[in-house]
């Protein structure tokens, strides 16, 4: 989806437009500023860039210390004429006289040397490498008017900018040149063209650099100084080879007469000056024509023109004279990273291979040049033609290198087209067969290609929004899902992934009215395949940011359902089934202030504020019902005995209680109950929760949570007892998200190793889980079996997970899922991995029968979820698919109790009971003898099953299934006996009866 716009101006209107812009160009400045913009570089990280990051350098040219507090840098594109596009507020830092201040801006890639430490960093300003406007303003918010509304302190318009200080813009920077204020920053005549020069960047200066105190404190000398000559020259002029053309140049001097002009650069045959007219008075303009006759060779010629005056001053400007010729498409493309003919007007011919409905088309040299290093195709941007696919056309336009936002390379195209002529029928062009992985798709840009064999869908997230599917040879795995971050294996896999991707687009550079590429069942899933994909190879911005090679299909893609849906997770049976499900912001209060019961004016609480804007998830009742129905269908299909929930509204047990009511209605009976909330729920808008089936498991004690400051969403623990008496504890957790580095301290910023933001916080949450919360749960339950589940926001081998698995927990997904293929529960950037985990204590590990990830969510397009209004044709279906963006993890446990009935191995002899008339207590003895051949291991528990109602056992050690029990003092060797004295309280003087049972182990 190309997002750039190239204006197409009719012949004869350029001069008028330039005049209009010149009239708008100069805001009023009261006087030169003490702090000025001293250097600008905007090509950071681009192909062939000298430096890896954009930067803006400030300088205090005065003789007094100046604070930057209350100031900001504002950026606007060259041709923009309304609001400023982006800004960054500067810190309250005092600059001493002659001191510099370095602002690091966005990076376009990884090319170039590091600019080093900066005084202020921002990613919001992403400048063009050649043209734009940067301003220092008395504002800490984005400027709303183009002229700054009187708040501009300093303005630099450069390249072809429509606004600047003085009579003309500063020169254009490049990948190797910045624009630098003269005299190391001291010069400020409010004339951008005169004050700045384009020079090789020798290194940005910062507060620690040597100071440069300006003569006279940077203020104008009280003695009048000669004013400079100010030139007005076009940056470039273009023409056709064989036809003469010219450009008008002028210069003026406020206190002198410009009286001569000459070409000061090396002579170019056929280029000269003509019709010079000297200025008539001080301040008047001299004019001259730069003439290129019909003999000038095609190419780009840099011509420097020098103006002089009657005070022996001189000033020069350089004009890029572009002479277009007729070139083949391979000649225009060339074998380099960029075309050697960029920014020149050229004429070429090719067969139309594909036309885009919004304008623009692809042409290809049918014969090609036989060089595999040069592309035979070219995109013609913005132009329309009545010629059809298969027609041979001749096109004249400017060769441009288009670099989408976030791209590390450019894409050669023909823009500003002035002529498209149908020559005749060109015939069909055979597609070139290519394969993935492929390290150099640039060789085929603009060409008709066929990806032989099958490609696998790797991402469906932007199908509805942009009509895109990410394709690769097989499914790509996120490197830190398999390897330790920063390891050579992880780095190698990252590089392999980069070579193994292309994006299938739909040829419509707007949101499609109807979601494309859906199968008859209403979906297309990651893991499905497309065979022999044929189309033109485009390059442009993609969903989620950045850019990639894209196929605009010329034949309808043929898909196969190689990753079929399953109606429920499939795994080996046990006696307890457990799952964790991310329910993607299931809120019973909506962003419009409504709620699930028809209320209005409601809000959600975050910290100390309650308002509708705090709510997440559904916007209204209609969306909520669609969301609810998908979640209920998903949980019912899993049919787990215990369910952990992530991303449910943090409103006590209200939202989780509503979900249980809806689940029970779907079952038609009271099947689930809520695990009552613990004391600490955290201050986030969402929480973790648990529900369970009382018919399958029972609660042991109350729920626990850890409200420590490190846990923005406290973990929740509950101990359960199965029907056979076995216990286990479930801990549901939701660690800190990877996104949004704002406010992150060292360790939590994105280090670039694949772990994203807030990794140190997640490590500390894992440490807290191991050192405090799990021991607390074990102490409360008296049982060692623990299962940790939830969205841990860490892939399989990232630091928080390796910490947990190095400190007593077993990764059950690696044990059960990895041997069957890639383990994944989430897809991001076209890469698969699992953020949702199942970790057990070593004692529970042998009791895990199976683990499965049910891929009902991550593989499905966002476009089929509950949200309304994404596309004109609504693809929603009431089912369990795309109920969330994470897949649920399901664990089958084969729990074994920690005790064994050994009654059959003992002889029980009971004496008669005697009553103490003073205490009314009944006392007797019981003798247990081991009649077997093996020892009976302790502890041994004597259970009095069916003890007469109204009778109680004094000194009981506990209760088991409603019966009192006493722990015997020792184990029993074969033939050994132990005698126990029992005392009963029997106020009703009933006959005392019970069935003696002996168990080995603990309850």
Predicted pLDDT of residue 298: 78
Strands 502-504 and 547-553: parallel
Got the DSSP string for 473-529? SS--B-GGGTS-TTSHHHHHHHHHHHTS-EEE--S-SS--SS-TT--TTS---BTBE
Q: How far is CA 488 from the centre of its chain?
A: 24
Q: Cα separations (Å) of 726 from 417, 742, 997?
A: 77, 46, 18
Q: Look at the pTM and tell me if it is higher than 0.75.
A: no
For the chain, the first-to-last Cα distance in angstroms comes to: 64
Question: Cα(594)–Cα(620) distance, rounded to whole angstroms?
Answer: 7
Element (H, E) at 23: helix 14-24
Predicted pLDDT of residue 216: 74
Residue whose token pair is 């690696």 = 814
SS3 state at 530: strand
CA quadruple 572, 573, 575, 580: dihedral sign: positive
Q: How many helices (H) and strands (E) does the chain have?
A: 11, 58
Phi, psi of 439 (to 5 degrees): -85, -10
Q: How many CB atoms lie within 10 A of CB 419?
A: 11
Alpha helices in 203-362 (DSSP H): 329-333
246 in Cβ contact with 292 (< 8 Å): yes
Query: Token digits for 480?
Result: 């830190």
Query: Residue 420's beta-bridge partner residues?
Result: 395
Query: Token digits for 56?
Result: 């803006």
Residue whose token pair is 């057990």 = 840
230 in Cβ contact with 169 (< 8 Å): no
Predicted pLDDT of residue 565: 97
Predicted pLDDT of residue 14: 29
SS3 state at 762: helix
Is residue 894 exposed (0-12), middle (13-18) or buried (19+ Cβ within 10 Å)? Answer: middle
Question: Cα(973)–Cα(980) distance, rounded to whole angstroms?
Answer: 16
Question: Cα(741)–Cα(764) distance, rounded to whole angstroms?
Answer: 17
Question: Cα(596)–Cα(160) distance, rounded to whole angstroms?
Answer: 56
Q: Cα separations (Å) of 153 from 68, 620, 827, 1003?
A: 11, 47, 47, 78
Phi, psi of 898 (to 5 degrees): -90, 20
Question: Cα(367)–Cα(654) distance, rounded to whole angstroms?
Answer: 70
Give Dmax (Cα) for the chain: 138
Strands 576-586 and 642-649: parallel
Phi, psi of 96 (to 5 degrees): -80, 165
Query: Token digits for 953?
Result: 């056992």
Q: Cα 328–346–198 angle (5° rounding)?
A: 125
986 in Cβ contact with 951 (< 8 Å): yes
The number of residues in the chain equals 1003
Question: Cα(481)–Cα(477) distance, rounded to whole angstroms?
Answer: 7
Query: Token digits for 152?
Result: 């501009």
Question: Cα(789)–Cα(772) distance, rounded to whole angstroms?
Answer: 17
Tell which residue, 829, 186, 69, has the closest CA to residue 494: 829
Tell which residue, 907, 845, 896, has the closest CA to residue 1002: 896
DSSP category for residue 926:
E
Phi, psi of 454 (to 5 degrees): -105, 145
Element (H, E) at 14: helix 14-24
Is residue 218 exposed (0-12), middle (13-18) or buried (19+ Cβ within 10 Å)? Answer: buried
546 in Cβ contact with 481 (< 8 Å): no
Element (H, E) at 379: strand 377-380
Is residue 595 exposed (0-12), middle (13-18) or buried (19+ Cβ within 10 Å)? Answer: buried
Which 3-state string (H, E, C) describes 737-789? Answer: CCCCCCCCCCCCCCCCCCCCCCHHHHHHHHHHHHHHHHHHHHHHHCCCCEEEE
Predicted pLDDT of residue 108: 62
Strands 432-434 and 697-705: unpaired
Predicted pLDDT of residue 580: 98
Element (H, E) at 824: none
923 in Cβ contact with 981 (< 8 Å): yes
Phi, psi of 395 (to 5 degrees): -125, 135
Question: Cα(56)–Cα(155) distance, rounded to whole angstroms?
Answer: 12
Query: Residue 177's beta-bridge partner residues?
Result: 200
Q: Which residues contact 526 (CB under 8 A, 6 or more apart)?
A: 456, 457, 458, 459, 460, 475, 563, 827, 832, 858, 859
Query: Residue 432's beta-bridge partner residues?
Result: 449
Query: Residue 908's beta-bridge partner residues?
Result: 928
Tell which residue, 396, 386, 382, 390, has the closest CA to residue 352: 390
Low-confidence ranges of the chain (pLDDT < 50): 1-31, 220-223
| Cis peptide leading into residue 437 (ω within 30°) | yes
Is residue 545 exposed (0-12), middle (13-18) or buried (19+ Cβ within 10 Å)? Answer: exposed
Tell which residue, 684, 682, 686, 664, has the closest CA to residue 673: 664
Phi, psi of 859 (to 5 degrees): -80, -15
Residue whose token pair is 């910490």 = 803
Predicted pLDDT of residue 24: 37
800 in Cβ contact with 792 (< 8 Å): yes
604 in Cβ contact with 595 (< 8 Å): no
Q: Which residues contact 583 (CB under 8 A, 6 or more apart)?
A: 631, 645, 646, 647, 648, 659, 883, 884
Predicted pLDDT of residue 11: 30
Is residue 870 exposed (0-12), middle (13-18) or buried (19+ Cβ within 10 Å)? Answer: middle
Query: Residue 533's beta-bridge partner residues?
Result: 451
591 in Cβ contact with 616 (< 8 Å): yes
Query: Token digits for 144?
Result: 């709303």
């Amino acid at each position: 989806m190309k997002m750039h716009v190239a204006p197409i101006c009719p012949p004869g209107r350029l001069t008028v437009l330039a005049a209009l812009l010149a009239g708008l160009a100069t805001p009023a400045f009261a006087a030169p500023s003490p702090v000025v913009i001293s250097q600008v570089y905007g090509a950071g990280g681009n192909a062939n860039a000298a430096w890896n990051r954009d930067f803006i350098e400030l300088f205090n040219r005065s003789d007094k210390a100046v604070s930057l507090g209350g100031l900001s840098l504002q950026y606007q594109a060259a041709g923009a004429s309304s609001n400023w596009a982006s800004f960054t507020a500067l810190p309250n830092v005092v600059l001493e006289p002659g001191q510099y201040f370095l602002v690091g801006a966005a990076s376009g890639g990884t090319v170039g040397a590091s600019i080093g430490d900066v005084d202020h960093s921002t990613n919001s300003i992403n400048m063009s490498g050649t043209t734009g406007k940067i301003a220092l303003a008395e504002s800490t918010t984005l400027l709303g008017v183009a002229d700054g509304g009187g708040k501009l302190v300093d303005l630099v318009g450069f390249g072809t900018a429509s606004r600047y200080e003085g009579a003309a813009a500063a020169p254009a920077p490049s990948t190797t040149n910045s624009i630098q204020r003269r005299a190391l920053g001291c010069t400020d005549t409010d004339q951008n063209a005169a004050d700045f020069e384009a020079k090789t960047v020798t290194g940005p200066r910062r507060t620690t650099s040597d100071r440069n105190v300006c003569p006279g404190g940077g203020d104008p000398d009280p003695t009048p100084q000669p004013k400079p000559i100010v030139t007005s020259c076009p940056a470039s002029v273009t023409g056709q080879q064989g036809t003469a053309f010219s450009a008008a140049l002028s210069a003026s001097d406020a206190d002198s007469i410009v009286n001569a002009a000459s070409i000061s650069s090396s002579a170019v045959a056929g280029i000269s000056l003509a019709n010079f007219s000297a200025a008539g008075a001080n301040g008047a303009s001299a004019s001259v024509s730069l003439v290129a006759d019909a003999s000038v060779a095609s190419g780009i010629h840099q011509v420097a023109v020098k103006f002089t005056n009657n005070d022996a001053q001189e000033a020069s400007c350089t004009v890029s004279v572009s002479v277009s010729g007729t070139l083949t498409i391979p000649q225009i493309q060339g074998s380099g990273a960029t075309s050697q003919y960029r920014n020149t007007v050229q004429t070429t011919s090719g067969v139309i291979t594909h036309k885009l409905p919004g304008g623009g088309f692809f042409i290809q040299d049918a014969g090609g040049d036989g060089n595999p290093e040069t592309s035979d195709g070219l995109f013609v941007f913005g132009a329309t033609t009545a010629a059809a696919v298969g027609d041979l056309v001749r096109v004249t336009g400017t060769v441009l290198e288009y670099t989408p936002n976030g791209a590390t390379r450019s894409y050669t195209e023909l823009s500003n087209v002035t002529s498209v002529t149908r020559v005749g029928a060109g015939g069909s062009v055979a597609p070139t067969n290519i394969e993935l992985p492929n390290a150099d798709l640039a060789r085929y840009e603009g060409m008709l290609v066929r990806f032989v064999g099958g490609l696998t869908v790797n991402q469906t997230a932007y199908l509805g929004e942009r009509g895109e599917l990410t394709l690769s040879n097989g499914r790509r795995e996120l490197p830190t899902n398999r390897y330790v971050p920063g390891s050579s294996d992880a780095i190698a896999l990252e590089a392999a992934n980069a070579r193994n991707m292309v994006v299938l687009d739909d040829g419509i550079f707007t949101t499609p009215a109807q979601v494309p590429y859906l199968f008859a069942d209403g979906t297309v899933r990651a893991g499905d395949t497309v065979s022999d994909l044929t189309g033109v190879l485009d390059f442009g911005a993609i969903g989620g940011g950045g850019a990639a090679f894209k196929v605009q299909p010329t034949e309808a893609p043929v898909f196969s359902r190689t990753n079929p849906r399953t109606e429920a997770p499939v795994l080996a049976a046990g006696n307890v089934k457990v799952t964790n499900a991310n329910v993607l912001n299931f809120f019973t209060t909506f962003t419009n202030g409504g709620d699930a019961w028809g209320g209005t004016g409601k809000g959600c609480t975050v910290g100390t504020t309650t308002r509708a804007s705090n709510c997440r998830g559904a916007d209204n009742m209609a969306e909520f019902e669609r969301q609810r129905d998908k979640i209920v269908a998903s949980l019912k299909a899993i049919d787990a005995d215990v369910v952990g929930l992530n991303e449910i509204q943090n409103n006590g047990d209200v939202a989780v209680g509503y979900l249980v009511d809806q689940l029970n209605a779907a079952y038609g009976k009271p099947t689930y109950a809520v695990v009552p909330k613990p004391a600490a729920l955290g201050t986030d808008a969402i929480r973790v929760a648990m529900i369970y089936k009382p018919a399958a498991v029972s609660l042991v004690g109350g729920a626990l949570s850890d409200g420590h400051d490190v846990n923005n969403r406290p973990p929740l623990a509950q101990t359960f007892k199965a029907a056979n008496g076995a216990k286990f504890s479930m801990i549901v957790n939701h660690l800190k998200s990877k996104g949004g580095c704002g406010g992150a301290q060292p360790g939590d910023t994105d280090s670039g190793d694949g772990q994203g933001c807030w990794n140190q916080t997640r490590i500390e949450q894992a440490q807290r889980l191991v050192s405090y919360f799990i021991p607390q749960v074990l102490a409360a339950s008296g049982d060692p079996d623990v299962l940790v589940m939830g969205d841990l926001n860490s892939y399989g081998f990232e630091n928080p997970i390796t910490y947990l698995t190095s400190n007593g927990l077993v990764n059950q997904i690696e044990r059960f899922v990895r041997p069957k293929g890639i383990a994944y529960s989430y897809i991001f950037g076209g890469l698969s991995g699992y953020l949702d985990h199942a970790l057990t204590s070593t004692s529970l590990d042998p009791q895990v029968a199976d683990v499965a990830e049910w891929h009902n969510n991550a593989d499905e397009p966002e476009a089929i979820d509950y949200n309304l209004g994404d596309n004109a044709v609504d693809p929603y279906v009431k089912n369990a698919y795309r109920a969330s963006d994470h897949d649920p993890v399901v664990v089958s446990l084969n729990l074994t109790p920690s005790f064994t009935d050994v009654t059959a191995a003992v002889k029980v002899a009971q004496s008669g009971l005697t009553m103490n008339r003073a205490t009314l207590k009944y006392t007797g003895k019981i003798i247990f003898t081991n009649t077997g051949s093996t020892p009976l291991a302790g502890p041994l528990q004597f259970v009095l099953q069916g003890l007469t109602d109204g009778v109680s056992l004094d000194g009981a050690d506990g209760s088991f299934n409603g019966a009192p029990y006493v722990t015997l003092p020792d184990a029993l060797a074969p033939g050994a006996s132990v005698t126990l004295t029992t005392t009963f309280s029997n106020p009703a003087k009933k006959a005392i009866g019970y069935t003696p049972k002996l168990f080995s182990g603990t309850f």
